[in-house]
A and B are shown apart, each in its own frame.
Chain A
Amino acid sequence: MSFLSPRFPAALAAKGRLGANRWLLLRRLSQFGILGLFLLGPLAGLWLVKGNLSYSLTLDTLPLADPLLVLQVLFSGHRPEGMALLGAAIVLAFYLLVGGRVYCSWVCPMNLVTDLAGWLRERLGLKGSAHISRRSRYWILGLTLLLPLAGAGLAWELINPVSMLHRGLIFGLGAAWTVVLAIFLLDLLIMSRGWCGHLCPVGAFYGLLGRTSLLRVSARRRQECDDCMDCFAACPEPQVIRPALKGEANGTGPVILASACTNCGRCIDVCAKGVFVFGSRFNQHTQRCAPAGEAEGQTDHRKTIH
């Protein structure tokens, strides 16, 4: 594979350049858009959004707070003012609905770094990865909540690369770039998807939050699957796919219910057969039809042929 040859040629051939990268592009738009909104203030003096991902105030009215941070504040024995509680409640409600780890793939700036590392790792053909359980992040999450209880304040925030990067981009990075570089190198050289997939307690928290979320990816047309494995190659949490995609034999529904799924939609992009779609977690029905990526007209056309 040459350095810039297409990663997923089948999807590219079936759906075209735009169709095979639809959700990826939307996701980048969301990530850079949110970052841009935060940067409008300090760079252009247009204060639509003030603050950072820890807590922000939009148009001087809408508070949004990181519920994990507010939880840590509560655990350290401080009762926050109403705005922080309201902001956390709004964010909680939103991610309960659309899936907790939507934060990871659609909002978090660190995802840009780890995605780049993941992409480069594959392009350079770097094999071999340190093995750490993907459950480590839940233990680290426990630690971030234990430290405030033990009287260490918001100790995780001293080293949290996620908030360090976002705050740094808005308020001045300083030496935080070294931490970001460390995460990049971790993902590139030491462990595939090391940070987001194994260690990050913020992602773990949002994952737990989105366990019962309404919006989920469904392998609705799983019968169409030709085992090309492109979805597994593209997915940052590939272990979540199998139960839904290959679960027909043991009666498992097609909806990806694993909380680690980030709803990034990359599997939808790279599947030439159009197996995956976004849908409700309650929509468990499967169907057999033409790839979704192809134009509606084409689908109709096929129907007439049949």
Chain B
Amino acid sequence: MSDLSNSPPAKSDKAAAARRQFFADAGRMACGVGLLGLGLGFHAKQARALPPAALRPPGAGAEEDFLGACIRCGLCVRDCPYGTLSLARPEQPVSTGTPYFVARQVPCEMCEDIPCVKACPTGALDHGLTDINQARMGLAVLLDQETCLNFLGLRCDVCYRVCPVIDKAITLELRPNTRTGRHSMFIPTVHSEHCTGCGKCERSCVLETAAIKVLPVPLAKGELGQHYRVGWEEEKKAGHSLVDDKGLGDLPDRMPEGARLEGHFDPASQGGPSLAPGKPATPGSGVDSLAPSIPGADAHGPGVPAIPQNIPGGGLPNRLSDEAAR
């Protein structure tokens, strides 16, 4: 204002009016474009939610990063020899112009040279991916155990047979068929360590609607708590068990009353039918023998295992001996 004080009042008024106009115009523009931006921003946020059936080509990272890196040129679509990929149209629930495929329609054939990744000019499909077996487009999950033919006890096995990483990504795990009581079920089992999410299993599932489906990895995969350790793996790593078996208390096995199993080894149930041979069970002996065998005490030798005290109801040996006393 002070620099204008010397100029004639008319000019100052004019400048002030122009300045007002400028700020008014800029404000109006900022608001208008801001509204557009707000709408577009929310739209973009929603557009990030890729429907589970839509899979990205190999090498695409997290959806958020992919949408910032993909230039929507369609060269991956062009260089895919199997016509697997297509660019999303505006009416489709995938971010407009980005490449995707639906496994049930055309799965990825897992070309060894990965031409789609090579064609990507921006690296939205990571050029560091040179081994297609390392691709993680999704993760196959046998979702419906009620309709899967193998779960019904048949030998369909088609998903297993067509898997390009057969016997690693999908294995057939044997389980007793409890319905018939005399057969095995061959359960197709996916191993996330090897599954690339190509979708050939989903494509070839013989059902009207596939029982096995490829899902986005974050949707399909669980995660153990950080503090969890799987004993048998730790044992492998360390070369021995991390837990000292001797320090563990052994609880008596609970049985239906009066049941007897020939040869059942259950050292904790003293006085039960499963005592080691040579030590006949006598009524009351179970109770008597409890006193010296306190867990951790030196008293229990090789044949006399520790029994935790204070088992409600006296534990199985007591009840067995009570019954015997009656």
Within 8 A of B (CB), among A113-150: 133, 135-136, 139-140, 142-143, 146-148, 150
Decide yes or no whether A32 CB sits under 8 A from chain B: no
Tell whether, in the assembled complex, residue B90 and residue A155 are in contact, meaning their CB atoms are under 8 Å apart. no
Q: Does B132 contact A (CB under 8 A)?
A: no
Residues from chain A with a CB closer than 8 A to the CB of B67 are: 76, 153-154
- Give the segment of A46-54, A189-197, A285-293 that binds chain B: A46-54
Q: Which of A15-23, A156-164, A264-272 contacts B (4 or more CB under 8 A)?
A: A156-164
Which of these, B25, B33, B74, B124, contacts A78 with CB under 8 Å? B124
Of the candidates B69, B73, B96, which one forms a contact with A158 in the assembled complex, judged by CB atoms under 8 Å apart?
A: B96
- On whether the beta carbons of A157 and B96 are closer than 8 Å, the reply is yes
Measured in the bound complex, the distance between the Cα atoms of B78 and A125 in whole Å is 45
In the bound complex, residues from chain B placing their C-beta under 8 Å from that of A151 are 64, 68
A172 at the interface (CB under 8 A from B): yes
Contact status B47-A158, CB under 8 Å:
yes
The answer to whether B75 touches A154 (Cβ under 8 A) is no
Can you list, as one digit per residue, whether each of B28-47 has a CB less than 8 Å from chain A (1) or not (0)? 01101100110011011101
A contact residues around B89 at 8 Å (CB): 168, 172-176
Chain B residues with Cβ below 8 Å from A63 are 121
Find the B residue at minimum CB distance from A179. Answer: B90
B69 touches A80 (CB 8 A): yes
Q: A78-B124, A133-B25, A167-B97 are in contact. Are A55 and B40 (CB under 8 A)?
A: no
B residues within 8 A CB of A77?
A: 68
Separation in Å of the B236 CB from the closest CB of chain A? 40
Given contacts A55-B75, A133-B25, A164-B96, contact A153 B68 (CB under 8 A): yes
Q: Is B304 an interface residue (CB 8 A)?
A: no
Interface residues on B, range: 35 or more
Cβ–Cβ contact B68 & A139, under 8 A: no
Q: A172-B89, A175-B90, A175-B91 are in contact. Are A139 and B30 (CB under 8 A)?
A: yes
Which of chain A's residues has its CB closest to B40's CB?
A155
State how many residues of chain A have any CB contact under 8 Å with chain B.
Answer: 57
In the complex, A231 has a CB within 8 A of chain B: no
User: Are A143 and B73 in contact (CB-based, < 8 A)?
Assistant: no
Contact code string B63-87 (vs A, CB < 8 Å = 1, else 0): 0110111111111011100000011
Find B123's partner among A56, A79, A142 (CB 8 Å cutoff). A79
Given A80-B69, A84-B121, A147-B44: A167 touches B75 (CB 8 Å cut-off): no
Contact flags A59-72 to B (C-beta < 8 A → 1, else 0): 00001011001100
A81, A140, A154, A174: the one contacting B90 at CB < 8 Å is A174
Least CB distance from B99 to A in Å reads: 10
Let me know if B95 and A158 touch, CB within 8 A: yes
Smallest CB separation, A177 vs chain B (Å): 9
Q: Which positions 43-63 of chain B face chain A at CB distance < 8 Å?
A: 43-45, 47-48
Q: Does A87 contact B (CB under 8 A)?
A: yes
Identify which of B41, B72, B127 contacts A154 (C-beta below 8 A). B72
Q: Which of B30, B90, B127 has the most CB of A within 10 A?
A: B90
- On whether the beta carbons of A153 and B71 are closer than 8 Å, the reply is no
By a CB distance below 8 angstroms, the chain B residues around A35 are none
CB contact under 8 A between A84 and B71, given known A78-B124, A158-B95, A174-B91: yes
Q: Is residue A152 within 8 Å, beta carbon to beta carbon, of the partner chain?
A: yes
Chain B residues whose C-beta falls within 8 Å of the C-beta of A47 in the assembled complex: 78
A78-B68 in contact (CB<8A) = yes
List of A residues within 8 angstroms of B65 by Cβ: 78
CA distance A176 to B89 in the complex (A): 7
Q: Which of A148, A158, A173 has the most CB of B within 10 A?
A: A158
Q: How far is the CB of B2 from chain A (nearest CB, A)?
A: 30
User: Does any Cβ of A come within 8 Å of B282's Cβ?
Assistant: no
> Any chain B CB within 8 A of the CB of A90?
no
A170 on interface, CB distance cutoff 8 Å? yes
A173 CB → nearest B CB, Å:
7
What are 29 A-to-B residue pairs whose CB atoms are below 8 Å? A51-B74, A52-B72, A52-B74, A65-B71, A65-B121, A76-B67, A78-B65, A78-B68, A80-B121, A81-B123, A84-B121, A133-B25, A133-B29, A136-B29, A139-B30, A140-B33, A143-B40, A147-B37, A148-B68, A150-B41, A153-B68, A154-B67, A154-B68, A155-B41, A168-B89, A171-B74, A172-B86, A172-B87, A173-B89
Q: Which 8 pairs show the lowest CB-CB distances between chains A and B?
A: A174-B89, A76-B68, A153-B67, A55-B73, A155-B44, A175-B91, A78-B69, A152-B44
